[in-house]
Structure 1
Amino acid sequence: MNSTTRLLAASLVASAIGVGISSPVWAASDKTTLVVMIRGLDNPYHADYAAGAKALGKKLGLPVDVLSSEGNSQKQFSDLKAEIAKTGGNMVVNVDPNEAPDVVPIAKMLESAGVYWVSWWNKPDDIKVQDYPHWVAHISFDAVGQGYFNAKTLFKNMPTPNKGSIIAIQGMLSNNAAIGRFQGLQKALKETPGVKLVQWEAADWDTNKAYEITKQLLAAHPDTAGVWSANDNMALGAVAALKEAGLAGKVKVSGTDGVPDAFDAIKDGTMSSTEYDDARYQAQLGLSMALAAKQGALDVKATPAKYRAFLIPGIEVDRSNVEKVVKDTVSKMPDYDLKNFYARWVAPIK
């Protein structure tokens, strides 16, 4: 392939993801692998990561590999090491680390291999994206805002609005999303003195654990008026426990992520709300940014700090808009506009 052909191929691919290109540093014949690292395909939210990546790979004619850690950080590390060896480092990565501490070993492996990457959700506060030349960006949804919205909506939908006892189901305790969402709950509680959190337990994002924990907490607190959950998978476990106790619908449950069963639960009145985090967009945005950096179309070093670590919004969903959100956003694969990587930018992560 001569230099003119390489430039044309690179320009075509860059155009497909909505960015320009200044030099022929990457060509379609290189077949850069698009890699997404997720917790597990059994989670509909993470399954959407894979779906989004595969749609982008099809659009660009590039291979896609999905690395599923099954919640095991050591598996996550070994799978990444194997992927680097398999591709010879000719890859870009969009990663949702299991927990914040996992970011540093992931960063070391990818930086050593010269692989451009984007992370989501989990990052230690003292680790700066700018210190790693191939770490294009760290992006997250506003977890505090999510926890707050879902808590306030839950409180309004309790048998006596804004009054009564609630229990809470936490996620993984060292997970940034879980931490932020719980902070949002605490903020809502401070603003609503009539609501009291009587007990909370961590279910590690797992539906079955949440089911068992909710059963135990309901036995200990039979006057529970609401269940706040840090994500939809656990919320659905709580709904199952409430159904078994004959309380589903009377005692509402809140969640976050926007998985299909959660939308159904909002429609039937057993869940009060969720916030839809579009993992398909997450995968395509992260991979497009990393690919643009690999191509030379995105100058990582020159990118302002506020665009290296930032928040984007989810979609707040309750019974008033659930039908519209499902119809317009969830039920089909959108053709995302990726011309502006920062179109949904809300605020920097400090």
Structure 2
Amino acid sequence: MATHKLLLLPGDGIGTEIMASARQVIAWFDARLGAGTFALEEDVVGGAAYDAHGKAISEAAMDKAMATDAVLFGAVGGPKWDGVPYDARPEAGLLRLRKDLALFANLRPAICYPALADASSLKREIVEGLDILIVRELTGGVYFGEPKEIRDLGNGQKRGIDTQVYDTYEIERIVRVACDLARTRGKKVTSSEKRNVMKSGVLWNEVATRVGRDEYPDITLDHMLADNCGMQLVRWPKQFDVIVCDNLFGDMLSDIAAMLTGSLGMLPSASLGAPDTRTGRRKAMYEPVHGSAPDIAGTGAANPIAMIASFGMALRYSFGLVAEADLLDKAIAAALETGARTRDIGGGGATLVGTDGMTAAILKALDELSA
């Protein structure tokens, strides 16, 4: 049995609590597949790294990230670090991991489990059966473009500058990822940008159209302005299969899609690099979409499902353990069917549980499904 190396970076706030849940699930699969299937290392990132090293991620942690098969990331940030220098802010650790590992493709599934259709802010008939995949370009665009600065103009005036930049190859590779994934799903891709007011959107539209036409004739590729896409996500989200978009719009649209499922606490994500030319493996990082939730950190109330499901994506995309990933997805759905709910997804008739209770429900479901 091959050993799969995982680097755990819990981070701050509830990151440490939900990572403890992920550890329990990893241990369950380790016992099922054979002891030693997963080799775990752990380090600090974000505010915890700043406290320990004066920076958002240490060089030693980066070395581990470069050498591992996949990174499992919790969450970073909190008011404790609001006053640290901009380059050392907790989020800088996450951005450096994405950039140095060249994780250009961010996959954010939005799935509405049947038991949670009533937890959504939308009507049951609009979200029941929802299964969307948002593919977000992650290493370009306005978050990384230069110049990025605040200029003093004198006379009490300042100018904030962020630069939206995309090259052809960046658009080509993310559209290919979206189309490849669509081939395993509903064979439909919606490319979203703002070509009506942004030159980068004009280029994005041109390149996406060409890639879809020339390389993926079996895929239906359409286009939608990003503001309309946000509206359509809350009007009739089941019209979408795969949505591909740039860094900024992907950030916003995936958060909108998250709330269709009932809570940010439900959504995992995968960030993938290009395949290695020799081994075919991709650098990868898996993380929940939600943040560090400092308001509930330490209370034991955090929803661990997005963290556990992120490990499920690692099983699928990094380790090739598709059957095990499917089993974990079924166990999450089964645990929810029992009525177990953390506070963020609680509702009428639900049994409110904390982080440990929800983790225990998923582990119990794994036992029952694999018996």
TM-score, normalised relative to structure 1 = 0.30
TM-score, normalised relative to structure 2 = 0.29
